[in-house]
Amino acid sequence: MKLRWTGGNRVRLLENGEEFFPAVFDAIRRARREVILETFIVFEDKVGRELHAVLLEAARRGVQVDVMVDGFGSADLSPEFVTELSQAGVRLRTFDPSSRVFGVRINVLRRMHRKLVVVDGELAFVGGINFSADHLADFGPQGKQDYAVQLDGPIVDEIRAFARSAIRAAELGARRERAERQPVPGRAGSGPVEALFVTRDNLEHRNDIERHYRLAIRSARRSVLIANAYFFPGYRLLRELVRAARRGVDVRLVLQGEPDMPIVKTAAGLLYSHLHRHGVKIHEYCRRPLHGKVAVVDDQWCTVGSSNLDPLSLSLNLEANVMLRDAAFATHLRERLDDLIRHQCREVTLEDAGGWAWWHQVRTFFVFHFLRGFPAWASRLPRHAPKLELPPSVESQAHQAETSRAR
């Protein structure tokens, strides 16, 4: 199915857990018919417990609640947490669960990394924020900086249809990691925003998110501003950034200066010299770990979602971003990122990037050839038919319902 821009939407930027969690929890509390939630991580901390409570409350008043969590990201949910949800009628599914081997989780590759919430087919949330307390400032120095959007309008129909088909595809045992993108009958919308919902999977939509990034950068005439937590993109995207800077576009990157994993900064740093040499400005966010995955081009086009610009997100994981065309919203997002740059970032200098030393040029040469080939080698990494596991009590209920229908 060819992706299409959908007009008539309204969008609200949600920065960090302080804005995201109250908006999502309030929407679930007001749900009348249906809640669909997909997330990489749910932890049993104060955020996870509040999510648990609002889902229980919704299910007990008759709302159909479907939740999908990832088997790697949400591996430590207690039996009590899961059982209470399932007994209330919440259909909690785990994407590709796996037992630990000598205490180590081995289901690392091809994760369900999307973060989506759809309520009553009327409101949707898309972004990079997990349901965990480390997305709140009071978590301390490791509290993450991140973004999501709240959407209402015709694009919600497409997001809902995708989320429902993702559940059906996995439950049917299909040997695929994707959901069908079926056409959705359009409905009128009164908002000013054009939106495009873009996902990646490991079959038909392997590079859709990266391709839309490249198209936007290629069309840039004035500015490109990307804030991305895990930055180690493919050769083609790097080439578009360099070409944009060479033709006079103001190209700025906001990357991690205080990473949650040291290898993140090390990997991105391998690219600094090349990018800096060609006019790309690099800013490291130093207040706390950056977890955002957002970009703005020419104050007209922007994206918010779950996809990092690294091999895992661009070549392995299941991801979801929303692309938006609206001058007012794009300007607002750019202004928030500008504020971040002015007050909480440091600009990387040529000396920081390695200068012109010959070993940095040799290192860059090998990194570039590695990046040129990573989509090919990533496709050779282990692929499996993803499982979607229901808790035992829910499996029993589903079996009983199926038996009843067969009669």
Known catalytic residue at 293: yes
Q: Among the options 45, 46, 120, 281, which is catalytic?
A: 120
Q: Among the options 70, 201, 291, 326, which is catalytic?
A: 291
Query: 21, 134 in Cβ contact below 8 A?
Result: no
Query: 374, 311 in Cβ contact below 8 A?
Result: yes
| Residue 184 domain boundaries | 6-353+380-406
What pLDDT, on the 0 to 100 scale, is given for residue 399? 45
What phi, psi does 249 have (nearest 5°)?
Answer: -75, 140
Is 362 within the bounds of a domain?
Answer: no
What pLDDT, on the 0 to 100 scale, is given for residue 180? 55
Is 374 within the bounds of a domain?
Answer: no
Q: Among the options 157, 274, 293, 326, which is catalytic?
A: 293
Is 316 within the bounds of a domain?
Answer: yes
Known catalytic residue at 46: no
Is 373 within the bounds of a domain?
Answer: no
What pLDDT, on the 0 to 100 scale, is given for residue 159? 97
The C-alpha atoms of residue 352 and residue 249 are separated, in whole angstroms, by 23
What pLDDT, on the 0 to 100 scale, is given for residue 350? 73
Cα 9 from chain centre: 20
Q: Among the options 52, 66, 115, 135, which is catalytic?
A: 115
Q: What is the pLDDT along the chain (407 residues), one digit of tens a residue?
A: 678 999 999 999 999 999 999 999 999 999 999 999 999 999 999 999 999 999 999 999 999 999 999 989 998 899 999 999 999 999 999 888 876 655 565 566 779 999 999 999 999 999 999 999 999 999 999 999 999 999 999 999 999 999 999 888 766 654 444 555 555 666 778 899 999 999 998 888 989 999 999 999 999 999 999 999 999 898 899 999 999 999 999 999 999 998 777 777 777 888 888 899 899 999 999 999 999 999 999 999 999 999 999 988 988 899 999 999 999 999 999 999 999 999 999 999 877 655 555 566 666 666 666 666 666 666 666 555 556 666 655 444 444 444 443 44
The C-alpha atoms of residue 322 and residue 180 are separated, in whole angstroms, by 17
Q: How many CB atoms lie within 10 A of CB 114?
A: 27
What pLDDT, on the 0 to 100 scale, is given for residue 186? 62
Instruction: Write the CB contacts of 304 (distance below 8 Å, at least 6 apart in sequence).
Output: 13, 126, 127, 128, 147, 148, 149, 293, 294, 321, 322, 324, 333
Query: 276, 356 in Cβ contact below 8 A?
Result: no
CATH of residue 205: 3.30.870.10
What pLDDT, on the 0 to 100 scale, is given for residue 103? 57
Is 372 within the bounds of a domain?
Answer: no
Known catalytic residue at 120: yes
The C-alpha atoms of residue 198 and residue 212 are separated, in whole angstroms, by 9
What pLDDT, on the 0 to 100 scale, is given for residue 407? 41
Q: Among the options 66, 96, 113, 283, which is catalytic?
A: 113
Is 363 within the bounds of a domain?
Answer: no
Exposure letters 45-84 (e unless 16+ CB within 10 A, then b): eebbebbbebbbebbeeebebbbbbbbbbbbebeeeebee
- Torsion sign (Cα): 126, 117, 49, 76: negative
Beta strands in 49-204 (DSSP E): 64-70, 91-95, 116-119, 123-127, 147-152, 193-200
What pLDDT, on the 0 to 100 scale, is given for residue 371? 63
Q: Among the options 152, 298, 299, 326, which is catalytic?
A: 298
Q: How many domains does the chain have?
A: 1
